[in-house]
């Protein structure tokens, strides 16, 4: 079309053109902004606050400025920096609530929908530890609670004007401060990114119901790099640094950490104040400081230092109190027989959560292997979930021909692991037409028989050796038995090609391990089992994440780093109680000493755990 | 003739659109200029308490003499830092040197922010009983006499705000995080969010020499001090935070701009407001 044909050259339409331009201009003025400030670029930290903490590293015993509870103090008091020399710990990165507190440069880029150009995510590459973060802006929900946790967690963002607010969950356990102040895997992080010119203020507000009594707010400044630099890689290859007994976990027993007073003494800080706490972060605490420095008392007793540094303390911290409702609601405890949820772990293996104990399902051309069968009340839902998986997403013909339930393996003999045995076995079929075979250690079969479990619900394909293996669906499946872990009847299953371990109740992220001594369980066996998992598991990259996934008896999917934390906990508590037994303490005295104080907020009531270890150490 | 109906339609639409743009197209005298108060994109007023989670040792206590860790001081700054003499300051009536504009935000305490008038925001600090006036009126000029708090010029900065939109930010209201696949949705910014936000930029001049830290780490009266005040979206637990980012650029004593960001939590009332005189404790060690 020629321009003159549309009338743009006529005088009357020239006036119209002016009007239209004016119109467009008015619209542009009246319309709200269509996008926020850009955060794209390479940003490098300025360390004008807390330089000691962020660059060279904090002093041991420096808990100042942190709203920590007694559990965090106990954890930090017993923390031996030598622990990071353990092979599994050496290459662990900082978690997202901590990584911005260290030397850091990071790069932000944008990911757009190629069709609409809508901004759907911000990507961050953090040079320290070579970590990646994705901040989703497309409205997706956070993963379910049984999904794996990572160092950086799962993040979603939303804009408030030019402030980007990011919420992150599914973060691994690590530290808020390198002096041993722990952060738990229940931490939620809210960040605000505030850009002014070439300066980016980064605000972190961490909420940790296990170790903090108030949200911890931290702020850092980063400056836009005009030219960037080359220091973007972080090489970490673990190596034996200290010759020590295999599986030793360095830590300080109560009263033996020689460094806890050094920081306070060096700077003339009252020891009580150096131990942190929410009240120490408010201006009015300055009056308390003055009183203490003048030789007076700090006021109402708080965190009795002498007890903290040398042994048991008085009243338990209510924020970490025994068997909190948080622990009860964690993982599958919240829905023992509710909805059954399916989660693809990796390879051919899926998790079914919500049926009591965790259930693992391996699906392939040969058929289906089911590891544990959950509570009997949930069997219909479990079967429905298995059928959906085995049908290849609803292909019933494929199921009928190729994907029968062939094997069931019981990792434990408890009802929450075996309640669906009979029905699920009947729903399956071995190659010779019998109900699906139920496999377990012979002790499990014996214990179930003793308990009066019906024949059809008991395993008849039993084994008695320490290890059994067989191929199925194109991958080797290993079954390991420990003579005395949760009980004397447990099995751990390793799908070698899928790289998934089904741990049984020796590993339970929702509580302390249940040591069923009456049925042959022991803490030594639990530790052996956890160490065996660590021997089998390999992270997917140097920095201790992913790779082998571990399905615990109860709780969320884990990787090696999560098992290390749990193993450390069991070993440390066991060592503490052994030391107390050696000192001649009674069970009541041991319970009063709260040897699990630093973990109770995470794992709940420790009474039975302590009693089981005590009994074992007394023998 | 066929073109006439579209022309008329465009004109009608144009008139309608222009007439419906808020604040425009009114008949009669032009609207009075908007005041800083009415144009405020965020509400900074209220009582705010500093929560000292960073630099605790340097803020809650008087650090040892010569301890300037984290501050990028140059040789002259180091020399002056090491020459600090608290008794001499007190004798000379310079007790407020650590409470000047370059250091007041780092003092543990409370702020009371109010509008002194439609174009002047007032910040009172109970630590040292200091008062700052942030002037939005560009016709005002710095007085000849330098003061501890100097002369501050303020302006709102940030994204354009839809006219008629309220100043309060959209509450940040994720559901309880971490599980079940429910809640915590991010998503593209809603239209209401796009038109919110904004910061207060403050540039201060005409101030006296002062201290960045209680123990005499100096800034000079020739420094450039720029601050940004941001009210952060409410936290999931209801906390509301004020972020004050301060840049002190002082070639006399610093090797590079000194950045600090100080956070304050909104309090319900002034019941904990506790004015005190400028006073610095002797170092604990």
- pLDDT, tens only, A357-411: 999 999 999 999 999 999 999 999 999 999 999 886 544 444 444 589 999 999 9
d(CA B12, CA A480): 82
- How sure is the predictor about A171, in pLDDT bands with cuts at 50, 70 and 90? very high
For an interface test with B, the pick among A15, A32, A556 (most B C-beta atoms closer than 10 Å) comes out as A32
Q: What is the dihedral of CA A393, A396, A402, A406, to 10 degrees?
A: 80
d(CA A301, CA A334): 37
Q: Are B187 and A160 in contact (CB under 8 A)?
A: no
Q: Are B98 and B210 in contact (CB under 8 A)?
A: yes
Share of chain A above pLDDT 70, in %: 86
d(CA A493, CA A503): 7
d(CA A256, CA A251): 9
- How sure is the predictor about A299, in pLDDT bands with cuts at 50, 70 and 90? low
Q: Are B225 and B146 in contact (CB under 8 A)?
A: no
Q: What is the mean pLDDT of residues A60-88?
A: 96
Name the average pLDDT for chain A.
Answer: 88
Find the CB nearest B245 among A165, A169, A196.
A196
Q: Are B133 and B101 in contact (CB under 8 A)?
A: no
What pLDDT is recorded for position A289? 97
Q: Does B2 touch chain A (CB under 8 A)?
A: no
Contacts of B191 in chain A (CB under 8 A): 32
Tokens of A289: 């400081």
User: Which candidate, A144, A111, A116, places its Cα nearest to that of A39?
Assistant: A111
* Interface contact B260-A48, CB threshold 8 A: yes
SS3 state of residue A211? coil
Q: Taking a contact as any Cβ pair under 8 Å apart, which residues of chain B between 154 and 193 contact chain A? A: 157-160, 162, 169-170, 172, 174, 177-189, 191, 193
Tell me the per-residue pLDDT of A312-370, one tens digit each, with 9 for 90 and over.
Answer: 333 334 444 333 444 444 444 434 457 999 999 999 999 999 999 999 999 999 999 99
* Interface contact A34-B194, CB threshold 8 A: yes
Contacts of A118 in chain B (CB under 8 A): 188
d(CA A43, CA A104): 9
Q: What is the mean pLDDT of residues A64-91?
A: 96
Strands A500-508 and B120-125: unpaired
* Interface contact A142-B184, CB threshold 8 A: yes
> How many Å lie between the alpha carbon of A192 and the closest alpha carbon of chain B?
7
d(CA A136, CA A140): 7
The residues that bridge with B121 in the sheet, in sequence order, are: B115, B134
- A86-90, A595-599, B265-269 — which is least confidently predicted? A86-90
Contacts of B283 in chain A (CB under 8 A): 268
d(CA A439, CA A455): 13
What pLDDT is recorded for position A333? 41
Minimum CA–CA partner of B65 in chain A: A267
Find the CB nearest A36 among B71, B189, B241.
B189
Q: Are B208 and B147 in contact (CB under 8 A)?
A: yes
Tokens of A373: 């069968």
Q: Taking a contact as any Cβ pair under 8 Å apart, which residues of chain A between 281 and 320 contact chain B? A: 281-286, 289-290, 293
What pLDDT is recorded for position B234? 94
Determine whether B213 is exposed, middle or buried from the number of CB atoms within 10 Å of its CB (0-12, 13-18, 19+): buried
DSSP string, A282-335: STTHHHHHHHHHTT---SS--S-HHHHHHS--SSPPGGG-TT-HHHHHSGGGG-
Task: Give the total residue count for chain A.
Answer: 619
Maximum alpha-carbon separation in chain A: 107
Alpha helices in chain B (DSSP H): 4-20, 36-39, 56-59, 75-82, 86-91, 191-194
Tokens of A127: 């040079």
Whether residue A176 is predicted with pLDDT greater than 70 in this model: the reply is yes
What pLDDT is recorded for position A165? 96
Q: Does B258 touch chain A (CB under 8 A)?
A: yes
d(CA B131, CA B148): 9
Tell me the per-residue pLDDT of A110-141, one tens digit each, with 9 for 90 and over.
Answer: 999 999 999 999 999 999 899 999 999 999 99
The torsion angles phi and psi of B95, rounded to 5 degrees, stand at -60, -20
Q: What pTM value is reported for the model?
A: 0.88
Contacts of B132 by beta carbon, 8 Å cutoff, 6+ apart:
B101, B104, B122, B123, B124, B125, B149, B152
* Interface contact B169-A161, CB threshold 8 A: yes
Q: Does B128 touch chain A (CB under 8 A)?
A: no
* Interface contact A139-B187, CB threshold 8 A: yes
Whether residue A539 is predicted with pLDDT greater than 50 in this model: the reply is yes
- How sure is the predictor about A77, in pLDDT bands with cuts at 50, 70 and 90? very high
Share of chain A above pLDDT 90, in %: 79
Q: What is the DSSP letter of A562?
A: H
Q: Does A198 touch chain B (CB under 8 A)?
A: no
What pLDDT is recorded for position A183? 98
Q: What is the dihedral of CA B250, B256, B257, B258, to 10 degrees?
A: -100
Minimum CA–CA partner of A171 in chain B: B178
A82 against B189, higher pLDDT: A82
- How sure is the predictor about A542, in pLDDT bands with cuts at 50, 70 and 90? low
d(CA A37, CA A164): 9
Whether residue A308 is predicted with pLDDT greater than 60 in this model: the reply is no
Q: How many CB pairs under 8 A join A and B?
A: 255
> How many Å lie between the alpha carbon of A89 and the closest alpha carbon of chain B?
25
Q: What is the pLDDT along chain B (285 residues), one digit of tens a residue?
A: 344 445 445 444 444 444 444 434 345 577 777 899 999 999 999 999 999 999 999 999 999 999 999 999 999 999 999 999 999 999 999 999 999 999 999 999 999 999 999 999 999 999 999 999 999 999 999 999 999 999 999 999 987 654 444 444 443 343 333 333 333 334 444 444 333 678 999 999 999 999 999 999 999 999 999 999 999 999 999 999 999 999 999 999 999 999 999 999 999 999 999 999 999 999 988
Q: Taking a contact as any Cβ pair under 8 Å apart, which residues of chain B between 9 and 68 contact chain A? A: 10-11, 13-14, 17-18, 21, 41, 49-57, 60-61, 63-64
SS3 state of residue A597? helix
Q: What is the mean pLDDT of residues A156-160?
A: 95
Tokens of A13: 């339409």
> How many Å lie between the alpha carbon of B144 and the closest alpha carbon of chain A?
30
Whether residue A558 is predicted with pLDDT greater than 70 in this model: the reply is yes
Positions of E strands within A474-563: 475-480, 492-495, 500-508, 549-554
């Amino acid at each position: 079309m020629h321009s003159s044909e549309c009338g743009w050259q006529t005088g009357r339409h020239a006036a119209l053109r002016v009007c239209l331009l004016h119109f467009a201009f008015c619209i542009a003025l009246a319309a709200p902004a269509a996008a926020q400030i850009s955060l794209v670029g390479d940003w490098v930290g300025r360390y004008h606050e807390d330089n000691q903490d962020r660059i060279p590293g904090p002093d041991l015993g420096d808990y100042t400025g942190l709203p920590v509870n007694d559990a965090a103090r106990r954890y930090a008091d017993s923390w031996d920096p030598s622990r990071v020399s353990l092979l599994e710990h050496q290459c662990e990165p900082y978690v997202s609530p901590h990584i911005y507190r260290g030397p850091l440069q990071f790069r932000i880029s944008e990911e757009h929908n190629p069709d609409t150009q809508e901004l759907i995510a911000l990507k961050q590459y953090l040079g320290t530890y070579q970590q990646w973060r994705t901040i989703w802006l497309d409205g997706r929900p956070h993963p379910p609670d049984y999904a794996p946790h990572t160092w950086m967690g799962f993040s979603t963002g939303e804009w408030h004007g030019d402030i980007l607010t990011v919420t992150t969950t599914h973060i691994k356990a690590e530290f808020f401060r390198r002096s041993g102040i722990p952060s738990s895997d229940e931490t939620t992080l809210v960040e605000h990114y505030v850009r002014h010119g070439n300066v980016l203020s980064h605000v972190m507000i961490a909420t940790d119901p296990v170790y903090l009594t108030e949200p911890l707010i931290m702020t850092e400044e980063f400056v836009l790099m005009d030219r960037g630099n080359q220091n973007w890689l972080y090489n970490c290859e673990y190596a034996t640094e200290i010759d020590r007994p295999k599986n030793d976990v360095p830590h300080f027993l109560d009263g033996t950490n020689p460094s806890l007073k050094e920081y306070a003494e060096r700077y003339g800080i009252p020891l009580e104040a150096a131990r942190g706490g929410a009240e120490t972060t408010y201006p009015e605490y300055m009056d308390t400081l003055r009183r203490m420095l003048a030789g007076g008392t700090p006021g109402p007793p708080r965190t009795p230092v002498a007890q903290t540094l040398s042994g048991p303390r008085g009243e338990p911290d209510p924020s970490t109190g025994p068997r909190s409702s948080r622990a009860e609601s964690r993982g599958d405890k919240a829905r023992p027989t509710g909805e059954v949820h399916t989660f693809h772990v990796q390879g051919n293996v899926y998790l079914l959560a919500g049926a009591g104990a965790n259930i693992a399902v391996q699906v392939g051309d040969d058929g289906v292997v089911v590891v544990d069968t959950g509570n009997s009340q949930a069997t219909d839902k479990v079967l429905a979930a298995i059928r959906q998986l085995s049908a290849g997403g609803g292909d019933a013909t494929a199921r009928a021909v190729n994907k029968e339930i062939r094997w069931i393996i019981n990792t434990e003999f408890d009802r929450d692991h075996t309640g669906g045995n009979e029905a699920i076995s009947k729903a399956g079929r071995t190659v010779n037409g019998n109900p699906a075979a139920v496999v377990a250690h012979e002790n499990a079969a014996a214990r179930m028989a003793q308990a009066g479990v019906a024949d059809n619900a008991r395993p008849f394909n039993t084994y008695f050796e320490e290890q059994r293996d067989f191929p199925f669906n194109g991958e080797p499946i290993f079954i390991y038995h420990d003579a005395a872990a949760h009980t004397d009847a447990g099995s751990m299953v390793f799908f070698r090609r899928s790289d998934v371990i089904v741990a049984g109740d020796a590993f339970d992220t929702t509580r302390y391990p249940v040591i069923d001594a009456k049925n042959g369980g022991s803490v030594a066996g639990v530790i052996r089992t956890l160490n065996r998992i660590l021997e089998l598991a390999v992270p997917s990259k140097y920095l201790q994440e992913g790779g082998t996934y571990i399905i615990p008896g109860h709780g969320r999917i884990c990787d090696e780093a999560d098992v290390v934390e749990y193993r450390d906990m069991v070993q440390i508590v066991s060592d503490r109680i052994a030391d107390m037994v050696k000192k001649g303490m009674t069970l009541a005295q041991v319970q009063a000493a709260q040897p699990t104080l630093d973990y109770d907020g995470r794992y709940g009531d420790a009474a039975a755990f302590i009693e089981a270890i005590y009994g074992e150490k007394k023998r | 003739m066929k073109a006439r109906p579209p022309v008329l339609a465009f004109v009608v639409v144009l008139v309608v659109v222009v007439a419906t743009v808020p604040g425009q197209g009114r008949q009669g005298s032009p609207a009075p200029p908007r005041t800083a108060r009415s144009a405020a994109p965020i509400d900074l007023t209220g009582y705010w308490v500093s929560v000292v989670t960073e630099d605790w040792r340097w803020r809650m206590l008087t650090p040892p003499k010569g301890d300037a860790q984290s501050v990028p001081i140059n040789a002259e700054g180091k020399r002056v830092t090491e020459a600090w003499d608290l008794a001499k300051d007190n004798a000379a009536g310079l007790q407020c040197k650590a409470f000047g504009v370059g250091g007041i935000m780092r003092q543990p305490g409370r702020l009371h922010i109010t509008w002194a008038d439609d174009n002047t925001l007032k910040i009172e600090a109970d630590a040292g009983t200091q008062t700052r006036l942030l002037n939005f009126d560009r016709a005002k000029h710095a007085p000849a006499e330098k003061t501890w708090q100097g002369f501050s010029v303020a302006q709102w900065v940030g994204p354009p705000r839809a006219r008629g939109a309220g100043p309060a930010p959209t509450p940040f209201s994720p559901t309880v995080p971490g599980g079940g696949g429910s809640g915590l949705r991010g998503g593209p910014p809603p239209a209401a969010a796009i038109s919110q936000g904004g910061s207060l930029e403050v540039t201060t001049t005409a101030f006296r020499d002062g201290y960045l830290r209680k123990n005499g780490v100096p800034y000079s009266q020739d420094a450039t001090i720029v601050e940004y005040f941001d009210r952060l979206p409410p936290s999931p637990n209801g906390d509301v935070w004020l972020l004050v980012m301060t840049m002190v650029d002082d070639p006399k004593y610093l090797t590079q701009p000194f950045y600090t960001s100080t956070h304050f939590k909104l309090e319900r009332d002034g019941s904990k407001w506790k004015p005190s005189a400028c006073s610095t404790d002797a170092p604990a060690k």
